[in-house]
Structures are given as structure tokens and as C-alpha cells.
Structure 1
């Protein structure tokens, strides 16, 4: 069971079926209530018409035996103000839900003459007696109708009825109440038919909804299964050059496939970069280690031939390379720079004073970050400039305000041959050295500019290179000002 409902397809089908089931049940209940209300209302209207027709005959003075109570074969009762049945349908055998359960009228004895005379002597008239408990005038029919539900048996057939009760004031008979019924068989039959249709149709409709949802979700999720299968194959083969299929749609699944492929591309680039890094690091480490080992082995056999200065140079070169690799590893691991505030101009002046032939023009500009890492950036830029300059290296620091806000701008220029436009991005890659730098073999490993750009990016800045106005290369470091 857990495995069955553990898929998106199963859960979507179940959810859609439940939603439709709830909607169908609510709609079915509303339809049944509305249908029943309408049919009951129609039965009530029919019963009211019959009751008012009989009340009209009574109001005009028709005697009970001339009333048409059996024309529609529906139950009719006439009850006086004392609750006594005075007239009823001829074949009525049983009734409930009206004012009385009697089905046979009682005979109405005439009043004794002495009683009538006594009433006249006392000043009472028939009109006074009739008006004693009624609010209606003789011959007046009450505008209000009372409805009740009940049952009746006529000529051996029992049924449920909707009864309408109408009051009428009859001269000489007082206030009479006419009860007339209309059968509820149509309402009951329609409700039963609707219930039967719903009991049969709703399960079939739910089955159709479940089947359609199952097929639609299967079609919709087919690309997801293709993505999952391809990702499993990529994981098994470790071939990051493969890509997941992108469906020919413009929905979330297509965007997921494109994002997955972008992630795979970034992962492939990162892995390839890591492989090149390891290979280049091994190559760069091999040279100073081999040179140092050779000198030590020669010195062990022939102490007078030991090149101590060369051994120290190789050791320093190895130490610097190890420090560069360690810094790159920390940067790749996402190490966040410190949040210290310091003067970038003062830092530039300190670095320039340690070197010969470097001029500095630096104003006070405050930035935030790691003073040590940004000092390393400046040192690497100066090393690169001095390595390629003919005679002059200049450093400047200023504050610049542009459309993207205020920044601290540090530039390092030299009067060398500059950087070709085609190599202005390539020089910031790791272990990359242009031909003339490589031929000079001054110990550089091609990591200085790569480290400088990585540190600049970690501090929210940029590092670019372009031609200097007086010739040579101009490296520009832009950093956000300290807040």
C-alpha cells in the first residue's frame, strides 16, 4: 500500500478522485433537495387550489352534500371550529396529518326552537354567535394557507400526501377549515429515480475520472521518468557529458530538464577544472621537488658541489606554490572573507613602499573584507606588472561613482607589451602563462592572477585588464565601499 501511494501518479489520481467524489456528493445532495422542494411545492400548490375551490363553494352557501369532494379522487376534509368533521371524501378510509383522523362526518342536529327563541329574547342573533370566535366576515376565505405532510387511504390504496388547510367563514355554520391533499408519489418517484441514477452513475463517473487522471498523469510524468532514468545512467557511468532529454513543452518539467542540464554542465566544468587543477598542480610541484632532490643528492655525495642558493630558491618556490594551492582550496570551499573595515589607499601605499620602481597615487577609500587577502591581490598584481614592465609600474586608488553605485577602484599599470585582447580572460585561468612569461621561466606557476580574481569576486568586486593609456597593461580592481 505504501509503495502504491508512494508515487506522484497514484497520489494525483487519488486526490482528483476524492475531489470529484466530494463535488459529486455535494451536487447530488443539492439536486435531490432542490428536486424534492420543487415537487413538494407543486403538490402543495395543487392541494391549495383544491382546498380553495371547496372553500369557495362553502362561502357561496353550497350545502355539504352538493360539494364536489370526489372529482380528483384526492382526500378532502371539512372540519368546523370545534374540530368536528362535517364533510369528507366518500371513499376516504384513513387519514393522518390533518386536524382530525375521522373519516365519516357526524350528523348536525338542528337547534331546539325554545333555544332559538331564548336567544332572540336575550338579544342574540346568528350573526353574533358566528362572530364570537372568528376574525373573518361571513363568506370570507382566509388568505393564509397552512401546509402539512401526512398519509391517507382512499378506496383501499394508501399514499403520502401534501395537505393544504384553508379557513372560510360560512354564514350560519361558523368558521370551517377545508383540508385538501395532493399526492407526493411524483416527488417520491422522482427522488428515487434520481437516487438510483446517482448510485449507478457516480461510481461510473468516478471510475472514468480515476482512469483519465491515471492516463493523463502518466503522460505528463513520462518526461520525468525519462529524466530520472538518464540521471541514474549518468550516476552509474560517471559520464558528466551526457544530458537529460528536454520535452518539447513549455511547462515546469521542461524547465526542470533545462535546469538539470545546466547543473550537469556546471558540474562537468567544475570536475574538469578540478582535474586540470590536480594535473597542473602535480606538474608544477614536480619540477621544484625534482630540482631540490637532485641538488640534495649531489650535495650528499659531493658537498663541495651543493648549490645552496638554488636549493633555497627551489624551497621558497615550493613554499609559495603550496601557499597558493592552499588559498585556492579555501576559496573553492566557499570560505567567506572577514568583514573588517580598512583603508585601501593605505594598503596600496604599504605594498608600493616594499618595491623598487613603483609609484603610487592613492586617496583614502574605505572597504570591507579580508585585509590579508586583498593585500595578496595587490601583491600578485604588482608581481605580474614588474615581471612584464620595461621600466615603470604605477598604482592608483580612487573612489568612483557610477550608475551601479559608488566603488573603490584600484589600478596597476605597467609600460610593458600589454595583454592581447584575445587573452584578457584567459590570463585569469589557473596555471595559464602567456608564451613570453613562460619563456622567461622566472618561477611563476600561473596562479597569481587566478587567485586575484577569485578573491575579488569573493569580496563582491571585479578584476579586469585592458590597455593602459601610455601602453602596457592596466589591471583594474573594483570593490564596493564599506557600509
Structure 2
């Protein structure tokens, strides 16, 4: 029957530090005590006294280390307890941040920042679910109302008109569901399947198969390339063109150029524009920031949210500013080809 070795490995950081301090002190003091004994050639009694003093000093050092480390780790215990009380249903709680700028204080600050970002993300997702429910309920209610009226008054129902109205509601439902699934797919998979993509060529290809209401002016620099998923960036461009065409009064402009170490793709219109303090809201799903830029002209309310998601997974930026013609200009910036090689 074998002998199980003794393992002195405390589970707590406090115990490990105290044990390490005792071990270090022992390694230092014991040789000193031995050397002292040999030098002074004392009697056995002196040896005993020195050995006893060494043991007492080691014990005092371990006790002091235990107490000091325990006091230093009290904020960590408070952080642990507070984090344990925070649940997914209520992310508004924050952990106490000790004064100063030591490691524990920085840990608390970083944890609070992470909790804040998580709270914002959860709130945004909950709002998106609420908005999606409302958007789906509206055409469903319209379908039900039309069918009930036809059922109650069959003689007064004009079937071709009824079917046309119902198909319109079905088309809207289909657009919303399709866009929701596409947005969820981007957030789940990221930008997989990147290729070298010429933005000027992409713009010309997209415009070649469109039949837009307003003319499109082009200012395209050649050889502006990015590492991207063609289908995703093409979808983002199509969404920007759809949005600009819906709100333009006379024309739309598209620009492609290099801007420092970024590739710039900008689409602008000459419509009513967007208030500066509400510009970022248009990238939220089903955003309603301006009645003059409503979705009554065919938008499902997810196009710019999809565009924002595409830019995000490509590690780019998106912003809105006023166009030279007074409307809105939405600018997408992507890292130039080769500037980003990681996988999201």
C-alpha cells in the first residue's frame, strides 16, 4: 500500500500567499541560523534558543502575511459577492470600486464597464424583440381584418382588390422575416468568406441591375479595395441606395475613395436630412426618428440596421452627416485590403 504524499496547496489566494511567504522566510532564515551557530560555536542551549527564535519569527511572519493579505483581498471578496448578486434579469447593479488606482480598483472599474456594455446590449436586444413583435403584428392584424370583413360581407367583397391588399401585407411580412433572419445570420457568423473586393466595381455592378426613380451621380476612384464578403457589402450598398432613393427629391450621389488607411463608401441624397442629435438612432432596428423619413414608401425598417451590422463585422465604421445638398450622407469606412487579417 503506497503512501500518499502530503500536498500543502491552499485553495484561497490568501492561503497560498501566506504559505509562500512562510516557505520563503524559512529558506532564508534557516541557513542564516545554521551559519550563525557554526560561527559562534555555541553550546546546545544557544542552538536551541536560536532555533526557537527562528521558528517564532517564521510563525509571526506567516501570521502577519495572512492578516495583511486578508485585508488587501477584502475588496475582492466584495466584488465577488456583488457579482454573484447580479442576474441576467437585472444588470443595473454595479460593484463597489475601491479608491486608488491599484490592480483591485482597476479590476472593479473594468468589471463595471463590462456590465454597462452588457446592460446596453441586453436592453437593445429586448427593444429589438419588442419592435419586431409590433412590426409583425401590424400586417397580421390587417390580414385578419380583411378576411373577417370578406367573411361577414361576401357579396360586397371585390375579390381582386382583396387579394391585392392581402398580398401586400404578406409581402411586408416576408420582407421583415427575411431581413430579421439575415441580420441574425450576420451577428452569428460574422464576415466569413472574405475576398479582395473592388468597391468601384461593386457599385457599378449594383447599379447595372437597378431601376431607380432618381438619377445616381458617381465619383468613383479606381483600385480602392477591401477584404470583405462580397454578398454582405453588396447588401449594405443596396440598403444605402434604397434608403437614399426613398428620401431623395431629385438625385442620389455615390462616392468611393481612399481616406487615409481606410476605404470610404458614401451614399448621399438631397432629401430632408436627419437631425444631428438623432443620427445614430437610424441604425437601430425599426427606427422611427423622423416622420419625413418614414417607412411608408416600402422600407421594412431593417436595412440600415443590417448595413451597420455588416460594417461592424468587417471592423469598419459608419456615420451620418449632412450631404452637400442638404440631405443625409451615410459614410462607410472599411480597412483597406490587407489592413486586417484576423477572423471574427
Q: Could you say which TM-score interval applies, normalised by the shorter chain? A: 0.7 to 0.9
Contact residue 331 and residue 455 of structure 1 kept, 8 A: yes
Q: Which has the higher strand share?
A: 1
Contact residue 195 and residue 230 of structure 2 kept, 8 A: yes
Q: Determine helix, strand or coil for the equivalent of 1:6.
A: coil
Of 380, 388, 393, the residue aligned with 2:252 is 393
Of 17, 25, 42, the residue aligned with 2:22 is 17
Q: Which residue of 1 aligns with 2:228?
A: 369
Tell me, yes or no, if structure 1 residue 256 matches structure 2 residue 121.
Answer: no
Q: Which residue of 2 aligns with 1:246?
A: 97
CA pair 210-321 structure 1, distance change in 2 beyond 3 A: same
Q: Which residue of 2 aligns with 1:266?
A: 117
What is the deviation of 1:275? 0.8
Of 408, 413, 433, the residue aligned with 2:268 is 413
Q: Determine helix, strand or coil for the equivalent of 1:242.
A: coil
Of 202, 206, 221, the residue aligned with 1:347 is 202
Q: Determine helix, strand or coil for the equivalent of 1:243.
A: coil
Higher RCO structure, 1 or 2 (CA under 8 Å, sep 6+): 2
CA pair 296-347 structure 1, distance change in 2 beyond 3 A: farther
CA pair 475-440 structure 1, distance change in 2 beyond 3 A: closer
Q: C-alpha offsets along residues 97-132 of structure 1, whole Å, 9 cap, x if unaligned?
A: xxxxxxxxxxxxxxxxxxxxxxxxxxxxxxxxxxxx
Q: Which residue of 1 aligns with 2:341?
A: none
Runs (5+) with no aligned partner, structure 2 = 1-5, 339-344
What is the deviation of 1:278? 0.8
What is the deviation of 1:257? 0.9
Instruction: Out of 288-297 and 473-482, give the one that drifted further.
Output: 288-297
Of 153, 164, 177, the residue aligned with 1:322 is 177
Q: Which residue of 2 aligns with 1:289?
A: 140
What is the deviation of 1:215? 0.7
Q: Which residue of 2 aligns with 1:211?
A: 63
Contact residue 417 and residue 473 of structure 1 kept, 8 A: yes
TM-score (structure 2 length as normaliser): 0.86
What is the deviation of 1:238? 3.9
Matched ranges for 1:35-114 at <5 A: 35-36=39-40
Q: Which has the higher helix share?
A: 2
Q: Determine helix, strand or coil for the equivalent of 1:397.
A: strand
Contact residue 358 and residue 395 of structure 1 kept, 8 A: no
Alpha-carbon distance between aligned partners in 2 of 1:373 and 1:316, rounded to the nearest angstrom: 22
Tell me, yes or no, if structure 1 residue 460 matches structure 2 residue 319.
Answer: no
Contact residue 409 and residue 479 of structure 1 kept, 8 A: yes
Alpha-carbon distance between aligned partners in 2 of 1:419 and 1:291, rounded to the nearest angstrom: 30
Q: Determine helix, strand or coil for the equivalent of 1:446.
A: coil
TM-score (structure 1 length as normaliser): 0.63
Alpha-carbon distance between aligned partners in 2 of 1:228 and 1:440, rounded to the nearest angstrom: 47
Q: Which residue of 2 aligns with 1:64?
A: none
Runs (5+) with no aligned partner, structure 1 = 37-186
What is the deviation of 1:18? 1.4
Of 80, 83, 87, the residue aligned with 1:228 is 80
- How many residues align structurally? 325
What is the deviation of 1:299? 4.7
Alpha-carbon distance between aligned partners in 2 of 1:440 and 1:368, rounded to the nearest angstrom: 32
Q: Which residue of 2 aligns with 1:479?
A: 334
Contact residue 283 and residue 308 of structure 2 kept, 8 A: yes
Alpha-carbon distance between aligned partners in 2 of 1:262 and 1:368, rounded to the nearest angstrom: 31
CA pair 480-219 structure 1, distance change in 2 beyond 3 A: same
What is the deviation of 1:368? 2.0
What is the deviation of 1:339? 0.9
Q: Determine helix, strand or coil for the equivalent of 1:456.
A: helix
Alpha-carbon distance between aligned partners in 1 of 2:66 and 2:189, rounded to the nearest angstrom: 45
Q: Which residue of 1 aligns with 2:34?
A: 29
Of 285, 303, 312, the residue aligned with 1:448 is 303
